[in-house]
């Protein structure tokens, strides 16, 4: 039997944390012992995401990783697992979420990112948290009482309640840095007292962390994207590996001092330190990263943000739009729509660079506007919806089912995000991210049966029983290289449906599941091919797998010219930079498996 088979069990978990006492009585003493053993044996760490692995909110995955593979995790794994343990032991345990304090901003994070537990024993409530890490780690649960000093190994903790909000704060001891080369390191928080996180007692479910689980792994501003982190409590203090710095902190409460023994390490020491100090043996190669950030040993949950706010002026510089955007009329909408598709590629390159595409407007904005990238519909149309609303348009998000030509049917799930825009009482469909020959250059009037010619062909919307279908009639393809005459990338049907939708409004969160599915399902086209396309004044260009194409529209001839060629792996970066103005920050792993995708 594989070590990852078999049901989860308390006995196996207790062996993992080296707990040998009785765990059948859900009392305070047992809770304290199990809590302390967990933090002494299970590291706080984010190594998976720097090994090309995705951290998911799945209790069995977390159990197998931490218990059976002898790994650690961050709060969304560690505290999630600990909550299961407590409930299995018979405790009255409720999941809560909190906002972590950001020292550089002197404020709490705007998002609730930290998972904690409230445990009630004999009518008295306690706060359990086995995964804050570093010197802010609770060794034992705290009594949920306001204003009471509760000394533990790392320092004195206290909870403060005001108006239904609880804040956890900590008072440190003085610190003594043994190596003078580290006296000014940013890894050390020199504040004597500071908040850690703030929360309410409103219960939550783990699914409420789906969004933040994505964000913390993919946002370029997230501390977890910028540094690999591993810390573990010891009987006398804490050890940590943050980027290239290994530290051993010894608590000396009797002296009122904590001793910091810190040293820089080399890349070839990382695996040895993880094995010898943290008992972690990675199965996949770690890609060490230690970018500059505001992380320190005291506050592991700090995140930074891009300094500037999102703004229309910056977006319009990105799309090379120089007209006025103060009047939300049809003419302006047409121009802004066209400039978007002419300058921002439809692409899924991130997922083939080991990056996760998330449903976060600020992440999307920074990627497309500031990093000069493109995106797929869940990014590009999401951003465009924000643009339109900022401009003053009446804009509603819709969802649609894409047509699969290979199956002569629509997908069974709604995967394509589009926008309905109402101007002077008349509705239009805006869609800047279908890509290739199905790309709209201008919005379509939401009217049934009307031919609406555009550069790539004639579009029309058909309504029946409250369901709308967008279809396109194209021109004949003329393939210049006979080697591509039978290419599966070319759709030879004259008229094709593109997608089907209703006018029921939706929110971006309704795409969370499909955003995951399209990136992880082995059957997904996006898993099987990297895709990049961009509209041009005379047609469009595309890179799909190993085929680069330049398509020229010739409506006066009733023909579209397809100039196609196969490329080599070492040409990919050059084509992306020269043709699409995309310079990737991470290495692309080219993939071009056989699939149903066509231009």
Phi first, then psi: what are they for 67, rounded to 5°? -80, -50
Active site residues: 377, 416, 431
Buried/exposed 51-65: b ≥16 CB within 10 Å, e otherwise: eeebbbbeeebbbbb
Question: E strands of 139-266, at which residues?
Answer: 142-143, 150-152, 155-162, 165-171, 174-177, 193-199, 229-234, 237-242, 245-252, 257-264
Question: Residue for token digits 């108006």?
Answer: 163
**Contact assessment for residue 72 and residue 66, using Cβ atoms and an 8 Å cutoff:** yes
| The Cα angle at residue 378 between residues 429 and 525, in degrees rounded to 5 | 105
Q: Are 261 and 248 in contact (CB under 8 A)?
A: yes
**Torsion over CA of 433, 439, 442 and 447, rounded to 10 degrees?**
-100
Beta bridge partners of 403: 410
What is the CB-side half-sphere exposure of residue 380 using CA atoms within 13 A?
A: 29
In this structure, are residues 99 and 167 in contact, taking their beta carbons and an 8 Å threshold? no
What DSSP character marks residue 475?
A: P
- Residue 340 in contact with residue 201, Cβ under 8 Å? no
Tell me if 303 sits within 8 A of 217, measured CB to CB.
no
- Cα angle value 416/417/421 (rounded, 5°): 140
What's the rounded Cα separation, in Å, for the pair 63 and 57? 11
CA geometry: angle at 358 spanning 360 and 582, to 5°? Answer: 100
C-alpha pair distances (Å), 246 with each of 185, 191, 272: 13, 21, 12
User: CB-based contacts of 56: which residues, under 8 Å, 6+ apart?
Assistant: 213
Q: What is the DSSP letter of 290?
A: B
The two structure tokens encoding residue 122: 């004999």
CA distance 170 to 35: 19
Q: What angle do CA 430, 435, 438 make, to 5 degrees?
A: 75
Q: What does 42-96 look like in DSSP terms, one character per residue? A: S-EE-GGGGTT------HHHHHIIIIIS---B-HHHHHHHHHHHHHHHT-EEEEE
Other C-beta atoms lying within 10 Å of the C-beta of residue 343: 17
The Cα-based distances of 335 to 464, 519, 578, 584 in angstroms read 30, 32, 25, 28
Distance CA 510, CA 506 (A): 7
C-alpha to C-alpha distance for 406 and 414, rounded to whole angstroms: 18
Is residue 53 within 8 Å of residue 262, measured between CB atoms? no
């Amino acid at each position: 039997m594989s070590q990852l088979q078999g049901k989860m069990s308390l006995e196996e978990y207790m062996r993992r944390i080296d707990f040998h006492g009785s765990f059948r009585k859900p009392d305070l003493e047992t809770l304290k012992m199990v809590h302390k053993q967990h933090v002494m044996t299970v590291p706080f760490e984010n190594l998976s995401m720097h090994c090309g692995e995705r951290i998911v909110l799945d209790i069995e995955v977390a159990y197998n990783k931490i218990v059976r593979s002898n790994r650690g995790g961050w709060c969304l794994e560690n505290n999630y697992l600990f909550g299961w343990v407590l409930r299995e032991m018979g405790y009255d345990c409720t999941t809560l979420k909190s906002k972590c304090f950001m020292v550089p901003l002197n404020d709490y994070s705007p998002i609730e990112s930290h998972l904690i537990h409230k445990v009630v024993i004999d009518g008295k409530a306690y706060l359990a948290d086995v995964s804050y890490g570093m010197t802010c780690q609770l060794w034992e649960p705290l009594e949920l009482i306001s204003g009471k000093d509760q000394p533990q190994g790392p320092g004195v903790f206290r909870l403060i309640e005001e108006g239904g909000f609880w804040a956890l704060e900590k008072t440190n001891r003085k610190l003594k840095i043994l190596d003078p080369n580290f006296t000014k390191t940013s890894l050390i928080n020199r504040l004597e007292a500071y908040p850690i996180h703030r929360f309410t007692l409103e219960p939550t479910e783990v699914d409420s962390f789906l969004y933040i689980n994505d964000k913390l792994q993919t946002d370029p501003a997230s501390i977890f994207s910028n540094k690999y982190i591993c810390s573990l409590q010891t009987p006398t203090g804490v050890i940590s590996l943050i980027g290239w710095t290994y530290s051993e902190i010894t608590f000396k409460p009797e002296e009122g001092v904590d001793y910091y023994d810190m040293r820089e390490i080399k890349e070839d020491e990382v695996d040895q330190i993880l094995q010898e100090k943290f008992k972690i043996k990675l199965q996949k190669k770690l890609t060490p990263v230690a970018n500059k950030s505001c992380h320190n040993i005291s506050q592991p949950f700090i995140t930074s943000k891009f300094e500037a706010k999102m703004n229309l002026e910056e977006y319009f510089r990105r799309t090379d739009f120089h007209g006025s955007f103060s009047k939300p009329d049809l003419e302006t909408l047409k121009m802004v729509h066209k400039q978007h598709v002419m300058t921002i590629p439809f692409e899924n390159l991130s997922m083939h660079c080991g990056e996760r595409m998330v449903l976060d407007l600020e992440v999307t904005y920074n990627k497309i506007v500031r990093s000069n990238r493109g995106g797929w519909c869940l990014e590009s149309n999401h951003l465009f919806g924000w643009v339109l609303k900022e401009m003053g348009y009446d804009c509603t998000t819709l969802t649609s089912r894409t047509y699969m030509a290979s199956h002569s049917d629509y997908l069974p799930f709604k995967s394509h995000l589009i926008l309905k825009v109402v101007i002077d009482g008349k509705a239009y469909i805006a869609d800047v991210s279908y890509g290739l020959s199905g790309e709209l250059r201008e919005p379509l009037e939401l009217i049934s049966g009307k031919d609406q010619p555009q550069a790539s062909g004639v579009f029309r919307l058909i309504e029946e029983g409250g369901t709308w279908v967008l279809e396109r009639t194209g021109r004949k393809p003329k393939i210049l290289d006979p080697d591509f005459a039978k290419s599966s990338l070319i759709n030879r049907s004259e008229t094709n449906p593109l997608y089907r939708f209703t006018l029921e409004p939706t929110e971006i969160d309704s795409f969370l599941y499909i955003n995951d599915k399209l990136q992880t399902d082995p059957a997904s086209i996006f898993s099987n091919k990297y895709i990049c396309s961009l509209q041009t004044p005379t047609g469009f260009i595309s890179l799909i797998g190993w085929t680069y194409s330049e398509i020229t529209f010739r409506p006066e001839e009733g023909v579209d010219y397809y100039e196609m060629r196969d490329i080599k792996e070492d040409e990919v970066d050059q084509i992306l930079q020269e043709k699409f103005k995309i310079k990737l920050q991470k290495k692309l792993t080219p993939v071009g498996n056989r699939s149903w995708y066509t231009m």
